[in-house]
Amino acid sequence: MSAIEDLVTELSRLPTIGKKSALRLTYHLLKQPPEQSRRLAQVLGTLTERVRLCERCFNLTEEQPCTICKDPRRDAATICVVEEASDIAAVERTGEYRGVYHVLGGRLSPLDGIGPDELTVTALVQRVGAGGIREVIVATNPKLEGEATALYVQEQLSSLGVLVSRIALGMPVGGDLEYADGVTIAQAIASRRQMR
Protein backbone atom coordinates (compact mmCIF):
# COMPACT_ATOMS: atom_id res chain seq x y z
CA MET A 1 0.00 0.00 0.00
CA SER A 2 1.37 3.44 -0.92
CA ALA A 3 1.94 6.30 1.55
CA ILE A 4 -0.98 8.18 0.03
CA GLU A 5 -3.31 5.19 0.38
CA ASP A 6 -2.10 4.68 3.96
CA LEU A 7 -3.00 8.22 4.94
CA VAL A 8 -6.34 8.11 3.11
CA THR A 9 -7.21 4.90 4.98
CA GLU A 10 -6.26 6.38 8.35
CA LEU A 11 -8.06 9.68 7.76
CA SER A 12 -11.21 7.95 6.56
CA ARG A 13 -11.43 6.15 9.92
CA LEU A 14 -12.20 9.54 11.53
CA PRO A 15 -15.84 10.48 12.15
CA THR A 16 -17.48 12.49 9.37
CA ILE A 17 -14.54 11.80 7.00
CA GLY A 18 -15.34 9.66 3.97
CA LYS A 19 -12.90 8.39 1.34
CA LYS A 20 -13.34 11.49 -0.85
CA SER A 21 -12.72 13.91 2.02
CA ALA A 22 -9.74 11.85 3.16
CA LEU A 23 -8.25 12.03 -0.33
CA ARG A 24 -8.85 15.79 -0.47
CA LEU A 25 -7.14 16.28 2.90
CA THR A 26 -4.22 14.11 1.81
CA TYR A 27 -3.63 16.17 -1.34
CA HIS A 28 -4.00 19.36 0.70
CA LEU A 29 -1.27 18.18 3.07
CA LEU A 30 0.98 17.26 0.16
CA LYS A 31 0.66 20.77 -1.24
CA GLN A 32 1.69 22.36 2.07
CA PRO A 33 5.29 22.88 3.17
CA PRO A 34 6.65 19.61 4.67
CA GLU A 35 7.15 21.37 8.00
CA GLN A 36 3.40 21.74 8.42
CA SER A 37 2.80 18.00 8.01
CA ARG A 38 5.63 17.24 10.42
CA ARG A 39 4.10 19.61 12.95
CA LEU A 40 0.73 17.85 12.58
CA ALA A 41 2.34 14.43 13.09
CA GLN A 42 4.20 15.74 16.14
CA VAL A 43 1.05 17.19 17.69
CA LEU A 44 -0.82 13.90 17.16
CA GLY A 45 2.03 11.98 18.78
CA THR A 46 2.11 14.33 21.75
CA LEU A 47 -1.66 14.06 22.11
CA THR A 48 -1.60 10.30 22.55
CA GLU A 49 1.39 10.46 24.87
CA ARG A 50 0.10 13.18 27.18
CA VAL A 51 -3.66 12.86 27.30
CA ARG A 52 -4.95 10.24 29.72
CA LEU A 53 -8.16 9.48 31.58
CA CYS A 54 -8.49 11.16 34.96
CA GLU A 55 -8.16 8.37 37.51
CA ARG A 56 -11.02 9.84 39.54
CA CYS A 57 -13.65 11.00 37.03
CA PHE A 58 -12.44 9.52 33.68
CA ASN A 59 -12.34 12.95 32.01
CA LEU A 60 -9.59 13.45 29.42
CA THR A 61 -6.65 15.20 31.06
CA GLU A 62 -2.93 15.84 30.93
CA GLU A 63 -2.56 15.85 34.74
CA GLN A 64 -3.76 13.60 37.56
CA PRO A 65 -6.33 14.29 38.81
CA CYS A 66 -7.87 16.54 36.17
CA THR A 67 -8.19 20.31 36.66
CA ILE A 68 -11.88 20.01 37.57
CA CYS A 69 -11.34 17.30 40.22
CA LYS A 70 -8.55 19.20 41.92
CA ASP A 71 -10.17 22.64 41.81
CA PRO A 72 -10.91 23.52 45.48
CA ARG A 73 -13.64 25.99 44.44
CA ARG A 74 -15.78 23.19 43.03
CA ASP A 75 -18.41 21.35 45.04
CA ALA A 76 -16.87 17.88 45.37
CA ALA A 77 -20.03 16.56 47.06
CA THR A 78 -22.04 16.80 43.82
CA ILE A 79 -21.22 14.56 40.88
CA CYS A 80 -22.70 15.03 37.41
CA VAL A 81 -22.62 11.74 35.49
CA VAL A 82 -22.20 12.12 31.72
CA GLU A 83 -21.77 9.66 28.86
CA GLU A 84 -18.65 11.10 27.21
CA ALA A 85 -15.87 13.51 28.14
CA SER A 86 -17.13 15.85 25.41
CA ASP A 87 -20.39 16.23 27.36
CA ILE A 88 -18.44 17.93 30.17
CA ALA A 89 -17.62 20.81 27.82
CA ALA A 90 -21.35 21.20 27.04
CA VAL A 91 -22.28 21.41 30.75
CA GLU A 92 -19.33 23.72 31.50
CA ARG A 93 -20.46 26.12 28.77
CA THR A 94 -23.59 26.86 30.80
CA GLY A 95 -21.51 28.30 33.66
CA GLU A 96 -24.26 27.13 36.03
CA TYR A 97 -22.79 23.93 37.40
CA ARG A 98 -20.06 24.04 40.07
CA GLY A 99 -19.83 20.37 41.03
CA VAL A 100 -17.54 17.65 39.69
CA TYR A 101 -18.11 14.98 37.03
CA HIS A 102 -17.99 11.29 36.31
CA VAL A 103 -17.62 10.09 32.71
CA LEU A 104 -19.23 6.71 32.01
CA GLY A 105 -17.42 6.19 28.71
CA GLY A 106 -20.61 5.58 26.72
CA ARG A 107 -24.13 4.38 27.33
CA LEU A 108 -25.72 0.97 27.55
CA SER A 109 -26.22 -0.30 24.01
CA PRO A 110 -26.30 -4.10 23.81
CA LEU A 111 -26.75 -3.96 20.03
CA ASP A 112 -23.35 -2.27 19.84
CA GLY A 113 -21.82 -4.65 22.37
CA ILE A 114 -21.86 -2.13 25.23
CA GLY A 115 -23.10 -3.63 28.49
CA PRO A 116 -22.58 -2.52 32.11
CA ASP A 117 -19.05 -3.93 32.18
CA GLU A 118 -17.96 -1.61 29.39
CA LEU A 119 -18.92 1.49 31.42
CA THR A 120 -17.29 2.99 34.53
CA VAL A 121 -20.32 2.41 36.76
CA THR A 122 -18.39 0.23 39.22
CA ALA A 123 -15.83 3.04 39.68
CA LEU A 124 -18.70 5.48 40.29
CA VAL A 125 -20.21 3.19 42.93
CA GLN A 126 -16.82 2.92 44.64
CA ARG A 127 -16.38 6.70 44.50
CA VAL A 128 -19.78 7.34 46.05
CA GLY A 129 -19.33 4.49 48.52
CA ALA A 130 -16.11 6.08 49.78
CA GLY A 131 -18.25 8.86 51.24
CA GLY A 132 -18.46 12.65 51.04
CA ILE A 133 -20.98 12.67 48.18
CA ARG A 134 -24.35 14.36 48.69
CA GLU A 135 -25.92 14.20 45.23
CA VAL A 136 -25.38 12.41 41.92
CA ILE A 137 -26.97 14.09 38.90
CA VAL A 138 -27.42 11.67 36.01
CA ALA A 139 -27.04 13.63 32.76
CA THR A 140 -27.07 10.86 30.15
CA ASN A 141 -28.75 11.72 26.85
CA PRO A 142 -32.56 11.60 26.76
CA LYS A 143 -32.74 8.62 24.39
CA LEU A 144 -33.87 5.13 25.32
CA GLU A 145 -30.27 3.95 25.80
CA GLY A 146 -29.53 7.02 27.91
CA GLU A 147 -32.61 6.39 30.05
CA ALA A 148 -31.70 2.73 30.51
CA THR A 149 -28.20 3.80 31.55
CA ALA A 150 -29.57 6.40 33.98
CA LEU A 151 -31.90 3.87 35.61
CA TYR A 152 -29.09 1.33 35.86
CA VAL A 153 -26.83 3.91 37.55
CA GLN A 154 -29.65 4.84 39.92
CA GLU A 155 -30.23 1.16 40.73
CA GLN A 156 -26.54 0.61 41.48
CA LEU A 157 -26.42 3.65 43.78
CA SER A 158 -29.77 3.01 45.45
CA SER A 159 -28.39 1.42 48.59
CA LEU A 160 -25.65 3.99 49.20
CA GLY A 161 -27.82 6.70 50.73
CA VAL A 162 -27.11 9.54 48.30
CA LEU A 163 -29.62 11.67 46.44
CA VAL A 164 -29.72 10.56 42.79
CA SER A 165 -31.37 13.04 40.42
CA ARG A 166 -31.99 13.11 36.66
CA ILE A 167 -31.66 16.15 34.41
CA ALA A 168 -35.09 17.46 33.34
CA LEU A 169 -36.53 16.24 30.04
CA GLY A 170 -39.03 18.03 27.86
CA MET A 171 -39.53 21.13 25.73
CA PRO A 172 -36.39 22.90 24.46
CA VAL A 173 -36.00 26.52 25.54
CA GLY A 174 -37.23 28.72 22.67
CA GLY A 175 -39.17 25.85 21.07
CA ASP A 176 -42.80 25.90 19.92
CA LEU A 177 -45.34 23.50 21.40
CA GLU A 178 -47.03 23.36 18.01
CA TYR A 179 -43.93 21.90 16.34
CA ALA A 180 -42.84 19.53 19.12
CA ASP A 181 -43.42 15.80 18.66
CA GLY A 182 -45.82 13.87 20.88
CA VAL A 183 -43.14 12.01 22.82
CA THR A 184 -41.38 15.26 23.78
CA ILE A 185 -44.63 16.91 24.88
CA ALA A 186 -45.59 13.83 26.91
CA GLN A 187 -42.17 13.90 28.63
CA ALA A 188 -42.52 17.60 29.33
CA ILE A 189 -45.94 17.05 30.94
CA ALA A 190 -44.66 14.11 32.97
CA SER A 191 -41.69 16.20 34.17
CA ARG A 192 -43.77 19.34 34.92
CA ARG A 193 -42.92 21.38 38.03
CA GLN A 194 -45.01 23.45 40.36
CA MET A 195 -44.87 27.22 39.74
CA ARG A 196 -43.99 29.25 42.81
Partner 1 sequence: MRLLESDSLVLHSFDYRETSRIVRIATRDAGVLSVIARGARRPKSPFGSAIDLFTSGVAHVRVNPARDLHTLTGFDATRSRSELAGSLARFTAASAVAELCLRFANEDDSGRVHDAATSVLDAIGVATPDDVPAIALAGAWRVVAELGFAPSLDQCATCHADLVADEPVTFDHRAGGALCARCARLGPRGRLFPAEARETLRAWLDGTESALGDSSTRRAHQRLLREFLEEHLADGKPLRAFATWEAQSFSHAPAEHA
3-state DSSP call for residue 181? coil
Supply the minimum distance, in Å, between the C-beta of residue 158 and partner 1. Answer: 5
CA angle 109, 115, 121 (to 5 degrees): 110
The residue (of 135 and 147) whose beta carbon lies closer to partner 1 is 147
Residue 110 is a binding residue for partner 1 (CB under 8 A): yes
The residue (of 61 and 140) whose beta carbon lies closer to partner 1 is 140
Residue 44: closest CA among 86, 84, 14, 5: 14
**Residues within window 127-186 making contact with partner 1, judged by CB under 8 A:** 129-131, 142-145, 147-148, 151-152, 155-161, 172, 175, 179-184, 186
- CA 74/CA 81 separation, integer angstroms: 15
CA angle 125, 131, 137 (to 5 degrees): 55
Supply the minimum distance, in Å, between the C-beta of residue 46 and partner 1. Answer: 27
The residue (of 80 and 153) whose beta carbon lies closer to partner 1 is 153
Residue 33 is a binding residue for partner 1 (CB under 8 A): no
Among 91, 123, 125, 171, binds partner 1 (CB under 8 A): 125
C-alpha of 60 from chain center: 10
Measured distance between the N- and C-terminal CA atoms of the chain, rounded to whole angstroms: 68
CA angle 190, 195, 196 (to 5 degrees): 150
Among 112, 163, 168, 189, binds partner 1 (CB under 8 A): 112
Residue 164: closest CA among 75, 80, 58, 69: 80
Q: How many residues bind partner 1 (CB under 8 A)?
A: 41
Residue 16 is a binding residue for partner 1 (CB under 8 A): yes
Where do contacts with partner 1 occur on this chain (CB under 8 A)? 15-16, 108-117, 125, 129-131, 142-145, 147-148, 151-152, 155-161, 172, 175, 179-184, 186-187
